[in-house]
Amino acid sequence: MKIVLESTADFVTIAGVPARVWKGHTASGHPLFAFIPHIAVPTEVDQAEFQAELLEAVEPADVVNPYGSGPVPISQRETAR
């Protein structure tokens, strides 16, 4: 499976671990959300450029609750600082 992801400014906590909410789509166009707690690049890649890009974020759409149906309640969301 291939997916395209774009970071949002939202974070959720899943099983006690904060995870950034990413939104995107599959290669065939199905929309999706990914909840990613850690992301890194190889050490030979420019870390400063990666960190700057990581701080860029788009406004999130309604986030699907990973624990059931419906959006994640605002009280469970955090915003990137």
As for how many domains the chain has, the answer is 1
C-alpha span between 21 and 13 (Å, rounded) = 10
Q: Which tens digit of pLDDT belongs to each residue from 22-80? A: 999 999 999 999 999 988 889 898 888 888 888 777 666 555 555 555 555 545 555 54
Domain that holds residue 61: 3-79
6 and 24 Cβ atoms separated by less than 8 Å: yes
Alpha carbon 19 to chain centroid, angstroms: 7
Which residue blocks in the chain are alpha helix, DSSP H? Answer: 47-55
Note the pTM of the prediction, 2 decimals: 0.66
pLDDT, position 5: 94
Residue written as tokens 């870390």?
Answer: 47
Distances (CA, A) of 45 to 12, 41, 56: 28, 7, 18
